[in-house]
Amino acid sequence: MQCSKCRRDAVIYQRYSGLHLCEQHFNRDFEAKAKRAIREHRWIESGDTVAVALSGGKDSSAVLFFLHRLLHERRDVRLMAITVDEGIGGYRDPGQARAIADRVGIPWVTASFREEYGITLDEIVVRKGTRLSCSYCGVLRRALMNRVAREEGVTKFAYGFNLDDEAQSVLMNVLRGDPDRLTRPVREVAGLVPRIKPFMYIPEREVALYAFLHVEGFDLAGCPYAADALRGDVRGILDGYTYRHPATKYSLVNLGETLRNPEKPATDGLRVCERCGEPCGKTCRVCQVLDEVRKGTSTIPD
């Protein structure tokens, strides 16, 4: 297929936009979305020291490359990378992450569960089994990353979380019935380095393509303990549903953002439609549906 914007060969088809994009236009589209997320959330400011949580996988490697491209000419923002070795045999060699950081000339720092906690994730699994391995790992890894970041003077922590990750997190909290996580406002907390997520509105497959186009030596292997995690089940459910309804992941991420926004306006109550005289919300859906049917258009979500 040819690119929808030029005559070059397309490298990707975006089902949600209906566009075929060549490499050049894909890069422009991808980086514009990431820049817009940073701008809208005011994530990077003059004087910041931004650390990428670099695992050596596709997402974190891609965000490191993108931020280096975005910030390398700025003298008022410093960029670095931090890698945590959880101690999982045959998985996530810190040397790969270091090589990726070295190739773009970014300072790199590492820490390990063994040195910090005196135990590895493999040893935790031997004692406690795999059922809660992701929960244990997440708690310990975040705490260690945060401590190292504070010691390095980091003001913003960049993660490679993509649209799929964010949508899965929202749905997981719904399935757990966890209103606290769904509605917890995003606020700065003393001692906790704020996180930024430049790829939160970009699908995982596009992040993967961006990594393949620009980064050498990243790790494609998945964590061997992830099979028993709830996230894996949610991923399958969400991917299947999104194939039929392409905007689903965006809708979930927008829902999560709205619920966590402490300044969201109060919803309007019911009113009486001036046209049909029936009770309705802000928009009379009866009149809207009839207008759309008569005109042959539709604004009703899938």
Nearest to 261 by CA among 185, 193, 173, 179: 185
Helix (H/G/I), strand (E/B), else coil: 264: coil
Helix (H/G/I), strand (E/B), else coil: 161: coil
Clarify whether residues 56 and 147 are in a common domain: yes
Clarify whether residues 101 and 183 are in a common domain: yes
Rounded to an integer, what distance in angstroms lies between the CA atom of residue 24 and that of residue 201?
A: 20
Position 85 in a domain: yes
Position 19 in a domain: no
Clarify whether residues 245 and 292 are in a common domain: no
Position 162 in a domain: yes
Clarify whether residues 117 and 255 are in a common domain: yes
Sign of CA dihedral 181, 186, 187, 191: positive
Q: What is the CATH number of the domain that holds 94?
A: 3.40.50.620
The per-residue pLDDT for range 235-279, each reduced to its tens digit, is 999 999 999 999 999 999 999 999 887 665 545 567 888 888 888
pLDDT given for residue 194 in this prediction:
93
Domain around 289: 270-302
Contact by Cβ (8 Å): 48, 155: yes
Position 37 in a domain: no
Clarify whether residues 250 and 299 are in a common domain: no
The per-residue pLDDT for range 22-58, each reduced to its tens digit, is 999 999 999 999 999 999 999 999 999 999 999 999 9
Rounded to an integer, what distance in angstroms lies between the CA atom of residue 64 and that of residue 253?
A: 23
Clarify whether residues 56 and 167 are in a common domain: yes
Q: Considering only 126-135, 176-185, 200-209, 224-233, which range has the smallest mean pLDDT?
A: 224-233
Region 100-105 average pLDDT? 95
Rounded to an integer, what distance in angstroms lies between the CA atom of residue 260 and that of residue 69?
A: 31
Q: Considering only 15-19, 126-130, 146-150, which range has the smallest mean pLDDT?
A: 126-130
Please state the domain count of the chain. Answer: 2
